[in-house]
Each structure stands twice: as C-alpha cells, then as structure tokens.
A = this chain, B = another copy of it.
Amino acid sequence: MAELDTFDYRLLELLQENSRMTGNELAQRVGLSSAACLRRVQRLRETGVIERDVAIVSPKVFGKKMMVIVLLTMERDRPDRYMLMRDEFAKMPEVVQCHHVTGAHDFVLRIQVSDMDEYSAFVDRVFHEPYIKRYESLAVLGSLK
C-alpha cells in the first residue's frame, strides 16, 4: 500500500468505531463524495489495511461468561515447541487470544468458557503436557474495552 492520507485515517477511525456506516454517512463526515469514500474503503480492504470486519456479540449471549487469563511457562529446552503450540492454540475455540511474550512467562492466553467445569476440563486437556512447566490462571472479574 502506498501512503495513507488524512482522509484514509479519518475513514479508518470511523470504521473502527462502526463498520456499518454507509457511503453517505462517511461522505458527510470526511468531506468527500460517497463514491470516493467507498472507493477508498474498498482499497483499504484490498490492501489489507482493513484486515476484516467483525460483529461484536454481547459476551453474555454465548453463555461463555467466564474469562480466564493464563500465564504459561514452557520448558526451556523445547523452543521448537513454541510454534506448534501457537498453532494448536489457534484451533481451540476456548482460546480467544494468544500472545507469545518475553519475560518470566512464554505465553499469555485469554480463555473464554461457560463455567469452572469447562475450564477445569480445558486445563486437564491442554496444560498437562510435559513441555509445559507451569501455568498460572487469573480469573477475570471484569473487563473494559
């Protein structure tokens, strides 16, 4: 992608807030015609500046009311396992986020489950592996953003 100008940034800002805004609404706010706005947005999508569009569903609805943050520490002698782990985490529906980090821990995971039972089962299934040295579970009491 070439360079983004002020219009593009403004559009991104707006769409990050509400991606269902129509061409006319955008036009009104950025001071371009509807067509121009939509053409720009189209380009932003094609070039990957806008990666995707998602609906944000109220967490209550899915009944996945329990969120846990896990700090994972792997055995130091198996750095090759990192990528494999990551890929496996990617496939698990309970894992909504996975960060590979520096420092005392190796991974920070955000886990979404319905209840303690489901979490407990998840832990048994996933964390009791030889290359996992330690895990620390932080139950989330409340969140912002």
Chain A positions near chain B (C-beta within 8 angstroms):
4, 12, 15-20, 48-58, 61-62, 67, 69, 71, 86, 89-90, 95-105, 108, 136-145
Contacts and interface: CB of A to CB of B under 8 A. Distances in A.
A108 B50 contact: no
Given A4-B61, A86-B144, A144-B97, A53 B18 contact: yes
A145 B90 contact: yes
Contacts of A95: 144-145
Contact of A54 (B54, B90, B103, B104): B54
Nearest to A109: B144
B55 A50 contact: yes
Given A86-B142, A96-B145, A142-B86, A52 B101 contact: no
